[in-house]
Each structure stands twice: as structure tokens, then as C-alpha cells.
Structure 1
Amino acid sequence: MSSGGMPGGAPTKIINVGASCQSNHGMNHTASHQENARNAVVERAAKKKRESRIIGGGLRQFSVIVCQKLQSKVRTTYNQVADEIIADFAGTHSDTIVPLESDEKNIRRRVYDALNVLMAMDIIARDKKEIWWKGLPETNMKDLEELKALRAEMMNRIGKKVAYMKDIEEQIVGLQNLMARNRQLLECGSASPEGRFSLPFLLVQFTLLLA
């Protein structure tokens, strides 16, 4: 009887249990690593989406929100505006957890940027911590009509100058063609003395305007 057989002469198939366990462990480790990577990607995407909602579509849209807050309060501070916008965001997005510290910092940074934009446009004024509303720039209808009339007048003047320059160009081209023709006749010897002009001479040109 051989050491590797069973009674009756049937060969025994020896399974390497250690190698099989090691292979399964490696597969499980790889699957776990892939799952962690997928979770990290999903988490980053969710965070980016949350930040984009906080920003409100961009600095322009966020400036409108800040502008509305300031207009309703007339006088306020930077912290009051930022705190109210953070509270409004938390109430609007009730499906999310209370805003994280990074989200609050992002909102406060956007409020600060929006305030600088509004100050540059002379819509608000600031003295130390206090901010007050000055008002949106008003466009008078009379001023608007005057600007439209001025624009129409300028466009009319530009059109006349363009037409004048085109007429001058046509005159120059005509004189150049006449000079080339006379030069060619002179070189060929076919120019008659009667057709010549003695210098200096006066050329008179007029334009007939039909009503």
C-alpha cells in the first residue's frame, strides 16, 4: 500500500488548503481596496456637489443673495449676514446634516468676496465692522433717451465720414488710372501735343445732387 493511496488502489488527490486560503484572502483584499476607492470617489463627488450648492452657482448669484440681505437690513455687519445665510442654507437643505466647519468657512469667504464686489460698485459702504446700504444705481429715463439720441447722432456722423472716405478713395483710383493711361500714351508716342496740359493747371470737379 502506497502512502498516497487508499485501500483499493484509488489515488488520493491532495488539495493545498493553505494556497487556496491565501488566494481567497488576496481576492478579498483586492475587492475591499476597490470598494474603499469607490467610496472615496463618491464621497468627494458628494462634497463637491454640496459645496457647489453652498456657492449658489457662482459669485454673481451669491452677490445677489448678499445684496438682498443688506437691502432688507439697511445697517448690519459681516458676521450677521454670514450667520443668516448659513442658517438659510441649513434650512433649505434639510436633507443634509448641519453644515460642516468647512462649509461654513466657504460661505463666509463667499460673503466676504460679495461684499468687496458691492463696495466696488458703490452699492454699500463700510466703516470698520458696520456695513450700510447705499442703494442701487438709478438710471433716469431722460438720461437714457439722451444717450440713445447721442448714439444715433454719432452713428450718423460716422456713416457720413465713411461715405466721404469712400468717395475720396474712388477719386484717387480715378486719378491714378488717368496718370497710368497718359504715361502709357507718352511712352508709345501717340500722345498729341493738343491733348497735353501745361503745368500748372486747375482741375475743377463738382458733384450733382438730385433731390
Structure 2
Amino acid sequence: MNRQKKERTGLKAFSAMILSIMQKEKSIEYTKVADIIMGMTEGTGDDKNVKRRVYDALNVMCAVNLIKKDKKMAYITDNQMCSCEEEVERRLASLGQAIVSAPKLRERVEEKRRILEETVRRKDLLLRLIKRNSEREIEEKEKLHLPFILISTKKKSRIDCETNDRRSYFKFIFTSPYKIYEDVHILKQIFGDASVRSEVKEHHKGISQGQKENVEAPKKWNPPHEMDRATPGSPLGSSYIFTEDDDWLNLYNFLN
């Protein structure tokens, strides 16, 4: 049933109906095309969606040069060519591949937007840190150079660290729960980032509740986006791997 409905309301079906109308009318208003097709598909119960799909189909057909548009009018480009079903299907199929990839492209754009916003925030944090440090006199031995990470775990926890000669790979193995903080996370706390403070507050609240109710804390506290590199089941317990692919950590200088 759903497949039949999709065949009646898909891009191919709407394109065929539009071509049928255009071959008779030669030129017609966009809105009139939509009204005619809504009448042809009466009974779907979704007129608003049908109209949107018709406009989408018109734009697609314009993109593959089956029709052309001028303001509110649509014109057929080549009546003889448009009567060739194989040529019409070939053009629609070629554009259909691009249409399918459009959602993926939007996802990539959205991801790049998030990355850009985070980069701007990091730049702002670094500028504020530079300004703050310029107003203070600190001895060299007390300075903590960027980039860095902080690893939080219990005092009695045993920690093993494995690395290679180039120090481009690090593996930490813990016997107790742990959490890893990037340098940017620390800077956000220093300069009052509301989202980070809320996260830290909830984290400590969860720990307090766990102690009060005598509930065992989670095995891994590392950030969700890093979960895929956590490697449970090691001889000592939970572990975490760093590589030189980490853009926020210069591993060649780490632990020097």
C-alpha cells in the first residue's frame, strides 16, 4: 500500500503528470499546474504536501532542461524531446542521484557550521587567556603550556601508560573510573562558559547521589564523542587511546 502511494506521489509520477499537462498547454502558470495535479491526486488527504512536491518536480524538470520558467510561468522547452520517455527518464535519473545526496550535503554543511562555531569559541577563549596572562607575572615553572589534557581518577587508581618511540600514540589503562578533560574544556570553566558549568554541576551531583545511595559509578566517564576509542576489557580495566590524529593535542610534545 505504501509503495503504491509512493509511486503515485513520487518525483517520477509528478514529472510524468506535469509533462502531460505541458504538452497540451505549452505554457502555463505554476499554480495552475499544481491545482490540476491536486485534482488528479484527489483523495490523498494531503493537499499541502502534494503542492510542495509538484513545485519540487517543476524545479527539478527546469534543472534538467525539460521545461523553463519565467516568473510565474512555465514553458516546455522541446515538445518532441519531452515526448521521448527514455530521454525524460534518463535526465530525471541523472538528477535524482544528486537529489538523493542533498540531505547528506546538508548534514556536512551543518557539521562544518558546528565546527566553525566551536573554532570561533576556542579563538575567543585563547584571546581572553592571552589578555589575562599579560596582566600577570608567573614564574616559568608554574606555567602550563597549551595544548594539554587533564585526566581525573581516584587517588588509589593504578594508571599504566603505553607509547611508541615517536610519541604519536598513547594508551592509558585505568583500574578505576576516569574522565578526560581537554584544555579547551578547562578554559571554558575558567571563563564561565554556562554549558560547561552546568555539565560539571550535573557530573558532581551524579557522583554525590551515587555515593549517597551506594551505587557504583559508571565504568567510563569519557565524553560521548570519544567513546569509540575507549577500549574496555584490558588486563587492568578501562583504557583510553590517543593518536596524532587528535587535532586538539600535539602528541609529539606530550609528556616531554
What TM-score range do you get, normalising by the shorter chain? Answer: 0.3 to 0.5
When normalised by structure 2's length, the TM-score is 0.28
TM-score (norm 1): 0.34
Structure number having the greater helix percentage: 1
> Whose radius of gyration is greater, 1 or 2?
1
Which structure shows the bigger proportion of residues in strand conformation? Answer: 2
